[in-house]
């Protein structure tokens, strides 16, 4: 099960096969995750408007918003890849 969290650490994260690294920043406790127009290796990119961190569904963590809930759009993307 992926772990839930507010951000994936500080600094760029890059895996082999990714078109570019994901941006990660220190959490400011202002998390609001939404889908962007960008994609990496065919995966939609989600970004936090509070700190600018990015997430894709293949990451081993799951973003939560400022209230501690996984946003619906993130839940849908997570489940889409596991059908």
pLDDT-derived band at 25, boundaries 50, 70, 90: confident
Q: What is the pLDDT of residue 17?
A: 57
Q: What is the pLDDT of residue 56?
A: 94
- Per-residue pLDDT tens over the stretch 63-80: 999 999 999 999 999 888
Show the DSSP H helices in 5-71 as ranges: none
Cβ 31 vs Cβ 66: under 8 Å: yes
pLDDT over threshold 50, residue 14: no
How far apart CA 31 and CA 36 sit, in angstroms, is 15
Which residues are 40's β-sheet partners? 43
Q: How far is CA 34 from CA 17, 41, 61, 65, in A?
A: 23, 18, 16, 10
């Amino acid at each position: 099960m992926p772990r839930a969290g507010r951000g994936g650490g500080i600094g760029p994260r890059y895996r082999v096969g990714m078109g570019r690294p994901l941006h990660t920043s220190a959490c400011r406790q202002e998390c609001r995750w939404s889908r962007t127009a960008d994609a990496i290796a065919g995966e939609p990119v989600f970004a936090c408007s509070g700190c600018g961190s990015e997430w894709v569904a293949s990451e081993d963590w799951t973003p939560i918003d400022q209230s501690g809930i996984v946003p619906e759009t993130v839940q849908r993307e997570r489940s889409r890849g596991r059908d």
